[in-house]
């Protein structure tokens, strides 16, 4: 029989509820039914919500999986001052642009008024053009449309504010993790009081330790690590969110139980829980310093900066992948040839992000397509196309078109020949 760690109610089929160890809003995965009764789960939910609001600028730039809903959009500003809505790692213009007056130019020696309209979708563009025609029924319009790709500059990380509720939400993650793995409520009563708002004594501090995390270059992961140290008489939990913001939660400073350690990790993109190496050993005095010190702004910026660079790199790659997918969506070789021709263009865009090359992010998109390509083996239907982008020192695009039947790989030279013949 399990009991709710908040109000001690026995957990039954009637009042059981799934409590995410790491909040669902932060893309958490594990959600045991053995931690909180449904009443307490609901009553503490505002802490999780507050934490995800405080971290919205990270969440809006990621497309990690959640059980329900996606992170709300945030407004980001590019270097030219244009406002964008960021959501699930994608940037969209916040408002359409409709000029008050046209610019005047001479086209083929003829005085021409040019209205530069920027819309957020093709439908919106059409509607705006129709609006313009209605407004000036006497004018002749020539409409030219083109799709613009958006790459945002670095995100603004200067203004991070963590509320008291967010610190309680961090302590709740630590309490959940301990209760899930060990379940000895008697060892963490003080921390539970803190989560419940009954104790004002600070038990959470920000702690940045790049070495301990040991994350791969492109990894965005949550890490939880509990340590019980009976010599130091402390039980504490390290909580790292998105590899960007790290906390120490002091669960007990008069710990008399056994030495203990437990590690949990979650890659928010792959959903793998496979980090096995982690080392951290803090003394009672060190932990007290971490908790009582002023907010280490520089450390905070360093951690956020690194995660932002990873997110930004991935967003650029995703945008490139979208372009590639679009180019080959029509299932014919003409578009693939266009893509090959366009590659230099795409590459120069990637190259304009110098720090992309300092990360090691193998990135692969596999697309099935059906170009009308006749293979020697007789198959002229399905061929697979593998597009990989590889970022490690240099960026290169590899397009492989291979026969589904015999495995023959067509060279891009062969593909081009097919198109021209």
* Identity of the residue, 64 or 192, whose beta carbon is nearer to Zn ion in the bound complex: 192
Site for Zn ion in 367-386 (CB under 5 A): 375, 377, 379
Closest CA to 359 of 333, 384, 393: 393
Q: Does residue 6 bind Zn ion (CB under 5 A)?
A: yes
* Identity of the residue, 45 or 408, whose beta carbon is nearer to Zn ion in the bound complex: 408
Q: Which of 40, 44, 170, 175 binds Zn ion (CB under 5 A)?
A: 40
* Identity of the residue, 35 or 317, whose beta carbon is nearer to Zn ion in the bound complex: 35
Q: How far is the CB of 43 from Zn ion (least distance, A)?
A: 8
Q: Exposed/middle/buried for 198, CB within 10 Å: 0-12, 13-18, 19+?
A: exposed
Q: How far is the CB of 7 from Zn ion (least distance, A)?
A: 4
348: left (phi over 0), alpha (psi -120 to 50) or beta: alpha
C-alpha 123/C-alpha 284 separation (Å) is 62
* Identity of the residue, 100 or 376, whose beta carbon is nearer to Zn ion in the bound complex: 376
C-alpha 148/C-alpha 296 separation (Å) is 40
Q: How far is the CB of 175 from Zn ion (least distance, A)?
A: 13
Helices within 73-184 (DSSP H only): 122-135, 164-181
Q: How far is the CB of 369 from Zn ion (least distance, A)?
A: 15
Residues 212-251, one symbol each (x = binds Zn ion by CB under 5 A, - = not), give: ----------------------------------------
Classified as helix, coil or strand, 46 is helix
Contact 223, 275 (CB under 8 A): yes
Q: How far is the CB of 5 from Zn ion (least distance, A)?
A: 8
Q: Does residue 128 bind Zn ion (CB under 5 A)?
A: no
b/e sequence 370-407, b meaning 16+ C-beta within 10 Å: ebebebeeeeeeebebebebebeeebebebebebeeee
Classified as helix, coil or strand, 387 is strand
Q: Does residue 403 bind Zn ion (CB under 5 A)?
A: yes
* Identity of the residue, 37 or 339, whose beta carbon is nearer to Zn ion in the bound complex: 37
Q: How far is the CB of 376 from Zn ion (least distance, A)?
A: 6
- How many residues in the shown chain lie near Zn ion by CB under 5 A? 13
Residues found near Zn ion in the complex (CB under 5 A): 4, 6-7, 9, 37, 40, 375, 377, 379, 403, 405-406, 408
């Amino acid at each position: 029989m399990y009991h709710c760690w908040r109000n001690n109610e026995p957990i039954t089929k009637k009042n059981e509820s799934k409590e995410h160890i790491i909040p669902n809003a932060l893309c958490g995965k594990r959600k045991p039914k053995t931690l909180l009764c449904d009443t307490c789960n609901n009553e503490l939910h505002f802490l999780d919500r507050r934490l995800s609001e405080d971290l919205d600028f990270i969440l809006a730039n990621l497309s990690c999986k959640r059980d329900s809903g996606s992170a709300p959009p945030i407004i980001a500003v590019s270097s030219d001052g244009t406002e964008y809505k960021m959501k699930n790692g994608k940037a969209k213009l916040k408002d359409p642009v409709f000029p008050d007056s046209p610019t005047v130019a001479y086209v083929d020696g003829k005085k021409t008024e040019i209205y530069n309209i920027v819309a957020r979708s093709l439908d919106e563009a059409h509607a705006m053009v129709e609006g313009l025609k209605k407004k000036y029924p006497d004018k002749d319009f020539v409409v030219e449309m083109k799709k613009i790709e958006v790459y945002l500059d670095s995100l603004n990380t200067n203004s991070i504010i963590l509320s008291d509720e967010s610190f309680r939400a961090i302590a709740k993650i630590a309490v959940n993790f301990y209760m899930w793995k060990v379940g000895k409520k008697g060892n963490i009563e003080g921390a539970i009081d803190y989560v419940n708002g009954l104790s004002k004594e600070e038990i959470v501090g920000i702690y940045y330790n790049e070495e301990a995390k040991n994350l791969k270059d492109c990894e965005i992961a949550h890490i939880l690590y509990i340590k019980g140290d009976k010599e130091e008489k402390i039980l504490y939990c390290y909580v790292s969110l998105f590899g960007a913001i790290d906390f120490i939660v002091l669960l007990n400073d008069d710990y008399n139980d056994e030495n203990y350690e437990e590690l949990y990790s979650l890659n928010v993109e792959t959903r793998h829980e496979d980090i096995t190496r982690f080392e951290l050993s803090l003394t009672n005095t060190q932990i007290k310093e971490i908790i009582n010190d002023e907010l280490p702004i520089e450390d905070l910026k360093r951690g956020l900066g690194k995660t932002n660079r990873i997110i930004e790199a991935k967003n650029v790659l995703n945008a490139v992948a979208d372009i590639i997918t679009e180019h080959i969506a029509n299932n014919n070789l003409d578009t693939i040839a266009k893509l090959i021709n366009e590659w230099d263009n795409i590459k120069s865009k990637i190259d304009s992000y110098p720090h992309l090359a300092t990360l090691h992010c193998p990135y692969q998109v596999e697309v099935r397509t059906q170009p009308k390509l006749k293979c020697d083996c007789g198959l002229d239907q399905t061929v697979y196309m593998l597009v990989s982008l590889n970022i490690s020192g240099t960026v290169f695009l590899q397009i492989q078109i291979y026969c589904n039947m015999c495995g023959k790989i067509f060279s891009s030279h062969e593909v081009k020949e097919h198109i021209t013949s």
